[in-house]
Amino acid sequence: MNITIENIILIGSVLLLISILAGKTSYRFGVPTLLLFLTIGMLAGSDGIGGIYFDNPRIAQFIGVVSLNFILFSGGLDTNWQSVKPVLREGIVLSTVGVLLTAVGLGYFVYLITDFGLYESLLLGAIVSSTDAAAVFSILRGKNLALKKNLRPTLELESGSNDPMAYVLTIAFLTLVQFPEKNIASVLPMFFLQMILGGAAGFLFGKLSKIIINKIRLDFEGLYPVLTIALMFITFSATDFIGGNGFLAIYICSVYLGNQNLIHKKTIMRMFDGLAWLMQIVLFLTLGLLVFPTQIVPYMGIGLLISLFLIFVARPLAVFISLSPFKMKLRRRFYISWVGLRGAVPIVFATYPLLAGIEKANIIFNIVFFVSLTSVLIQGSTLSIVAKWLHVGLPESAKPLSPTDELLSEHPKAIMKEIMIGESCPATGEKIVNLNFPKKAIIAMIERDGNYITPNGLTVIKANDKLVVLTDKPEILEKVYASLSLSRAE
């Protein structure tokens, strides 16, 4: 079946519905949801029962880049800086040195066992060198997998921040394949320029985005997520335009925004959470349609060999070498090396050689697809089991609640406090978003002139308001009073 304007909406919506319904029950059988989306795309393709012919790497790459924008931005918004801060050094080392070591180690192995040239082998290694943010975020959060100490923030930080490194390495080695007269030293300036400009632009656009979101006055709450989407794409495209790494920029920008006080922040985060899931489904369906399973069969043997080497040798070695300067228990290092899921990102990156028209582009694409497939299947379906084997998971009863759950649950420690705002209170006339209110406390309601109103970030505190504050710990109330410039006696 050919995709036309007349049937594209019907086909897309049916595939989306099937993916959602199938994903609802997939974990009962231990099958990662993203693998299911990929399989549905393959079944709908020209080699499957759907018969949809799709062979356009350029469109697939465009969909992939747009999807990764949403996935990385949503992951960044959900990243708690206080959780990430203690593991910042480990995460950065894993997402840079770890990715480089994985690419070089796997690339040299490919060079030894195939007829690929050195640069072609390193290109393949670079494409599959990063852990996939979509796969890690969805599996860890979808299964609500609770891990001891700082394991989870380490894994999420690595997966969210290592795609830029893999992208730069992919472009660098692709350049060397196209222009073999160049050497590695010739691409180093591009590498440093991309990373430095990407990091700086992400931070600057984060600060600018916060000002725009909080200062602009929109008539409808639903427009704030739309505004944030516009700022996200501006951050990515402007950074890319000046020669920086757009993926790194949007991740840093979103981490900054996610840890600031924003107007309608909950609305923005919920919208991005839904959009991230939509983009994951669309991305995996598209990549499933793009691949021709009959073309993968001849490369299954070499693909399995490369995949097993990546899972059991290249990734663990890269993790252990990268983390050697840090004090960390052996079983935690083993688990980090196991959560090296490859998913949609390597497949998206594999479209770059296709569009560049290099000789072995189709072989690289099919091998990368098979490696991603086996990685999600083998590692993605065993995260909970391996966590239990290595004793790095928390028991079900010890899983932490989300901040919202903690505040609104009927836990005995939950605290509700009514705070009266006098006419001389310094908070009078201030917007809630500007109060620097503690993150683990919320103003659930405001009693004003005998009526109860539900506040948001734009709500202005007025004299004689009675604030109904919810929190989970008594000491948080001290911070609440401090943010309102009140003493407990008042």
pLDDT value, residue 251: 92
Q: What pLDDT does residue 257 have?
A: 95
Write down the pLDDT at residue 98.
Answer: 94
pLDDT in tens, 326-335: 988 899 899 9
* Distance in angstroms (rounded) separating the CA atoms of residues 379 and 385: 10
Strand partners, 419: 467
Cβ 434 vs Cβ 417: under 8 Å = no
Which residue reads 């923030």 in tokens?
Answer: 153
**Tens-place pLDDT, residues 58-108:** 999 999 999 999 988 998 898 888 888 888 999 999 999 999 999 999 999
30-66: per-residue pLDDT in tens? 456 667 777 888 888 877 777 778 888 999 999 999 9
Which domains does the chain show, CATH number per domain? 8-398 (1.20.1530.20), 403-483 (3.30.70.1450)
pLDDT digit string, tens, across residues 238-265: 999 999 999 999 999 999 999 888 888 8
**Where would I find the H helices in 78-183?**
81-84, 88-93, 99-113, 118-127, 133-142, 151-161, 163-178
Q: Report pLDDT digits (tens) over 371-409.
A: 988 988 888 778 878 888 988 876 554 444 444 444 444
Question: Closest Cα partner for 132 from 343, 321, 326?
Answer: 343
Crossing angle of the two packed helices 118-127 and 163-178, in degrees rounded to 10 = 160
Amino acid identity, position 138: S
Residue with tokens 């990063």: 130
Query: pLDDT value at position 30?
Result: 47
Q: Report d(CA 372, CA 342) in Å as an integer.
A: 5
Torsional class of 429: left (φ above 0), alpha (ψ -120 to 50), beta (otherwise): left
Query: Quick one: which H or E segment has residue 441?
Result: strand 441-448
| Average pLDDT value for residue range 183-205 | 88
Is the pLDDT at 11 greater than 80? The verdict is no
